[in-house]
């Protein structure tokens, strides 16, 4: 920032400065998400992210003092969006929740950047003892638990077979989602997450009908 820009910024009303600060922070997060998704955490440099966000290196570091701080902020933003997406599912219970999972592939296709970011970061931090690794471990546990509860509820109410294994069904459905996500990305979208997830969920329900 030039001396003139600095004086202009410092003389701007507090609300204007705060608004500009939020906009710059959002620009950094958006740029980091794009580059982390494309190049991974290790491949994307802070300098490249700053350039993508149209900021100086110093401007980026003002908002995020290290690359790790930036990564955790990107992950937290993604977590917030994932929670919002899951709220659509968690309004249902038992069989209705399982039926709603048929559209989860379409939900993932609707946000390709977040989907790519999840795959890239989870693979890159697969065996690390890091905060990002713990984040993905915890999120998978929450997701499987949600599905396990839904299968157990559907069995208890008689909508699905009483002898089904809720834990195994939850693990299998999570694995199918992950596999479709990866195939969708590697195929450039020619393999449909949306349609294949619909087909899978319908097949599961048909197999487990009471």
Give per-residue pLDDT as tens, 2-54. Answer: 433 444 444 555 556 677 878 889 999 999 988 988 888 888 899 999 999 99
Bridge partners, residue 160, by sequence? 209
CATH number at residue 17: 1.10.10.60
* Residues 100 and 189 reside in one and the same domain: yes
Q: What is the pLDDT of residues 83-132, one digit of tens each?
A: 776 676 667 789 999 999 999 999 889 888 888 888 888 887 777 788 88
Which of 23, 40, 65 terminates a domain? The answer is 65
Q: What is the model's pLDDT at position 13? A: 58
The mean pLDDT of 159-180, rounded to a whole number, is 97
What does pTM read for this prediction?
A: 0.76
Which of 14, 36, 65 terminates a domain? The answer is 65
CATH number at residue 109: 1.10.357.10
> Among positive and negative, which fits the CA dihedral 166, 99, 173, 107?
negative
Does residue 1 surpass a pLDDT of 70? Answer: no
Domain that holds residue 57: 1-65
* Residues 14 and 109 reside in one and the same domain: no
């Amino acid at each position: 920032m030039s001396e003139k820009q600095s004086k202009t910024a410092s003389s701007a009303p507090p609300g204007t400065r705060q608004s500009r600060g939020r906009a710059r922070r959002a620009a950094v997060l958006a740029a980091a998400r794009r580059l982390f998704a494309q190049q991974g955490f290790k491949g994307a440099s802070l300098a490249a992210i700053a350039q993508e966000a149209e900021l100086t290196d110093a401007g980026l570091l003002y908002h995020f003092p290290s690359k790790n701080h930036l990564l955790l902020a990107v992950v937290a933003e993604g977590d917030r969006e994932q929670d919002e997406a899951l709220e659509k599912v968690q309004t249902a219970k038992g069989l209705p929740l399982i039926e709603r999972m048929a559209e989860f592939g379409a939900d993932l296709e609707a946000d390709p950047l977040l989907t790519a970011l999840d795959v890239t970061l989870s693979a890159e931090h697969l065996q690390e003892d890091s905060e990002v690794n713990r984040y993905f471990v915890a999120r998978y546990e929450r997701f499987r638990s949600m599905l396990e509860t839904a299968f157990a509820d559907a069995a208890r109410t008689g909508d699905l077979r009483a002898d089904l294994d809720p834990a195994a069904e939850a693990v299998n459905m999570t694995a199918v989602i992950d596999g479709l996500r990866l195939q969708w990305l590697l195929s450039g979208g020619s393999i449909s997450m949306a349609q294949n997830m619909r087909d899978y969920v319908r097949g599961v329900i048909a197999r487990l009908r009471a």
